[in-house]
Amino acid sequence: MINTSKVYSDYVAFVQSKSLRGRSKAEYLRQVRKLAERHPERSLKQLTERAVLDHLIHLRDQQKLRPSTLNQAVVALRLFYRDYLGRKWQLWEAFEIRRDQPLPVVLSRSEVRALLHAVRENRFKAVLALIYHCGLRVGEAVRLRPRDIDRERGVLRVIDGKGGRNREVPIAHGMIERLGHYWLFHRNQAWLFPGVGRAWRERCKTLRAAMACADKPMSVSSVQAALRIVVASAQIKKAATCHSLRHSFATHLLESGVSIRQVSEYLGHASVASTLIYLHVTEISEGKGREAQAALIEQALR
């Protein structure tokens, strides 16, 4: 069995020594086990470069893994064979991942307004409004703690975002006040958005009491489910998700003249290149572009 072999147990120690996030370590080990399961007749050290390449092709063409998941498999197997076993293989450069990058679903300002007005439960309205206001990922939003809001500086601290990165995002005084009133309703000391679970009525007399004693944050799935209901009730025809609010935040800032570098920092992107896709969906008209171009030469020749 792969989980009892010496090469695998030594590799586990090798991975644990790396400064990787816990989820990344678990995924790297899972991908190596997945390869071993396809070749039970041979040990991992006996597999050839061609066998590993065929495995990756199988994941891409037969299992139809998403590009991001497929990339995790490549990184995991590269760590095992190149960095751990020292195999100088060429397949890491030869193997291609087709990265389809569809344009993000972006809501107009009026659609965002209609969506938020359609939210019935205040706890979901608060978290969805904050996702749009600060461009958060839904997982980042639900994990926020009351102390993450710096009222004096007017910033929201996002701790351990994607890739383990921390960042600060501006938060308007009005939003701070709204969140303050929301927190006063439940007064949970640990979570800004406490989770109550489906059976909270059986445990507590009121929603307020359930939120006050909650020991876990609101779940991502509950926010996603609430958003789906709201999209339907607001009669929004786009395939909007919680992430669409983040997309809309970025697009609307760019349309308002905020620099792409600044928007990239707000979003917590590792590179400005990840933010460039929003330039394709901004509604800055050709007319505005022509006006700006004409102004340039007029100012230069004045």
Which residues are designated catalytic? 137, 162, 243, 246, 269, 278
CB atoms within 10 A of CB 256: 9
Task: Output DSSP code: residue 145.
Answer: -
What's the Cα-to-Cα distance from 105 to each of 49, 152, 247, 288, 290, rounded to whole Å?
40, 34, 7, 23, 27
Print burial letters for 77-112: b (CB count within 10 Å at least 16), e (below 16): bbbbbeebeebebebbeebeeeeeeeebebbeeebb
Pick the closest to residue 250 from 87, 36, 106, 35 (CA basis).
106
- Residues β-bridged to residue 158: 167
Q: Is 7 exposed, middle or buried (0-12, 13-18, 19+ CB in 10 A)?
A: middle
Instruction: Report DSSP letters for 77-122, one per residue.
Output: HHIIIIIIS----SHHHH-------PPPP---HHHHHHHHHT--SH
Show the tokens assigned to 188: 């949970």
Q: CA–CA separation, 71 vs 31, rounded Å?
A: 11
- The type of residue at 51 is A
Q: Cα 281 to chain center, whole Å?
A: 20
Give the residue from 117, 142, 148, 160 showing the smallest Cα distance to 222: 142
- Sheet harboring 149-150: ordered strands across? 149-150, 155-158, 167-170
Task: Quote the tokens at residue 299.
Answer: 């100012």
Q: Within the chain, what is the greatest distance between any pair of CA atoms?
A: 80
